[in-house]
Amino acid sequence: MSHAAQAIAEDIAPRRASRTRKILAALIRQPVGCTALVFLTVILVMALVAPLVSPYDPLFQDRRAILQPPSATHWFGTDDIGRDVFARTLYGARISLFVGLAVVSVTTVIGGLIGLVSGYFGGWIDTIIQRLVEVLDTLPSLVMSLFIAAMLGPSIRNVIIAVTLAQIPRFVRVVRSEMLKVRTHDFVAASRVLGASALRIILTHGVPNLIPTMLVLGSLVFGIAIMTEAALSFLGVGTPPPNPSLGTMLSQGTRFIGIAPWLIVFPGLMLTVSVMALNLIGDALRDVLDPQRQ
C-alpha cells in the first residue's frame, strides 16, 4: 500500500508540468484572449513609463491652455485648470492598475488561504468560516466598499482595504468549493497514508490544483477592483485630489460634458478598455481551463 501511494505521489509533478504546457499552448491559440492581453500589456507599459510617454506633469496647471481641445500639443486636450488630460489619464491608469493588482494579491492570499482551510478541514471550522463569510456577503460588494471607504476616509490605501474586504468572500466561496473536490482525490489519500501533514497537503496538492481557478477569478476581480476604485473616486471617497484618478476625472468632467467632451471620453475609454481586456482574458482562461474542452 505504501509503495502504491508513493507511486501516485511521484506521478503528480510530471502531470502538472504537462498540463501547464498545454494550458499555455491553448491560450496562445485564443485570438480574443491574446488580443486582450496585448491591449492590457500596452496599457500597463504606457502607465509604467508615463513620464517618458507624456512630456507634461499631471499636476501642472497651464492657465493659458484651459479647456483646449485635443491637438498636437495636448493629445487628449486640457481640463478646466489647464492640466494635460493625456498625462492625467496615464497616471490615473497607473493608480487604477496598482489598486487592482494590490487587491488581487491580498485577496488571493487571504481569501485563498481561508477557502483552503475551510474546504479541507470542514466540520465546525468550515461552519464558522462560512457564517462569517455570509455576514461580509450580505451587502453588494460596491455598497460595502463604499461604506468602508467612507468610514476610513479617502486614500489609495483605504480604497485597497475597502475593495479587498468586499472581494474576500468571493474568493473564499470559490476556493472552498474547489478544495472540497480536491480533497476527495486519490493523491490526497496517498499523501495522508504517507504521513503528510494537513499543511503539507494543502500547499502541495490544494494550491497547485486551484491555481487555474484562482487565475480566472483573479482576472475578473482585477477588473472589478478597477471599476470599484473609479466608482469610489467618482463619489469622492476614493483616490484624493489632486492625484489623478480615472474616476475623479470622470466626476470633474461631467460639469463640462457639453463644451469639453474629451474630459470624459478619454478617461472613460481607458477605463472601459482596461476592464474589457481583463474580462476577455478571464473568459479565455476559463475556456482553456475548462475540463470539458481539454
228-285, pLDDT tens digit by residue?
A: 999 999 988 888 888 888 998 998 888 888 888 999 999 999 999 999 988 888 888 7
The CATH number covering residue 284 comes to: 1.10.3720.10
Region for 6 from its dihedrals, namely left if φ exceeds 0, alpha if ψ lies in -120 to 50, beta otherwise: alpha
Task: Note the pLDDT of residue 7.
Answer: 45
pTM score, two decimals?
A: 0.83
Angle at 268 between CA 67 and CA 162, to 5 degrees: 115
Q: Give pLDDT, residue 22.
A: 63
CB atoms closer than 10 angstroms to residue 4: 11
Q: Of the candidates 243, 241, 232, 242, which has an alpha carbon nearest to the alpha carbon of residue 163? A: 232
Rounded Cα distance between 89 and 75, Å, is: 11
User: How far does Cα 271 stand from its chain's mean position?
Assistant: 14
Q: pLDDT-derived band of residue 2, with 50, 70 and 90 as boundaries?
A: very low
C-alpha cell read off for 258: 457639453
Convert the pLDDT of each residue in 115-129 to its tens digit.
888 888 878 888 888
Residue 221 has pLDDT above 60, yes or no: yes
Residue 10: the pLDDT is 45
Predicted pLDDT of residue 27:
63
Angle between helices 246-253 and 207-234 (to 10 degrees): 30
- pLDDT at position 228 is 92
Closest among 165, 164, 176, 202 to 115, alpha carbons compared: 176
pLDDT tens digits, one per residue of 55-111: 888 888 888 888 888 988 888 988 888 899 999 999 999 999 999 999 999 998 998
The confidence score (pLDDT) of residue 290 equals 61
**Count of domains for the chain:** 1
**pLDDT at position 218:** 87
Q: Which amino acid is at 246?
A: L
Domain boundaries, position 130? 2-293
Q: What are the grid coordinates assigned to 290, written together?
A: 475548462
3-state SS assignment for residue 78 = strand
Asked whether the beta carbons of 163 and 229 are under 8 A apart, the reply is yes
Can you give the length of the chain in residues? 294
What 3-state class would DSSP assign to 42? Answer: helix
From CA 281, how far away is CA 258, in angstroms rounded?
35
> Would you state the pLDDT for residue 12?
46
Per-residue pLDDT at 217 exceeds 90: no
Q: How far apart are CA 282 and CA 197, in angstroms?
A: 34
Residue 62: DSSP 8-state: -
CA torsion 4-9-15-16 (nearest 10°) is 170
Q: Dihedral sign, CA of 26, 30, 35, 36? A: negative
pLDDT, residue 127, reads 87
Q: What SS3 state is found at 69?
A: coil
pLDDT > 70 in the chain, percent:
88
Q: Once rounded to an integer, what is the mean pLDDT over residues 167-184?
A: 85
Mean pLDDT rounded to a whole number for the chain: 82
Separation between Cα atoms, residue 35 and residue 44, nearest integer Å: 14
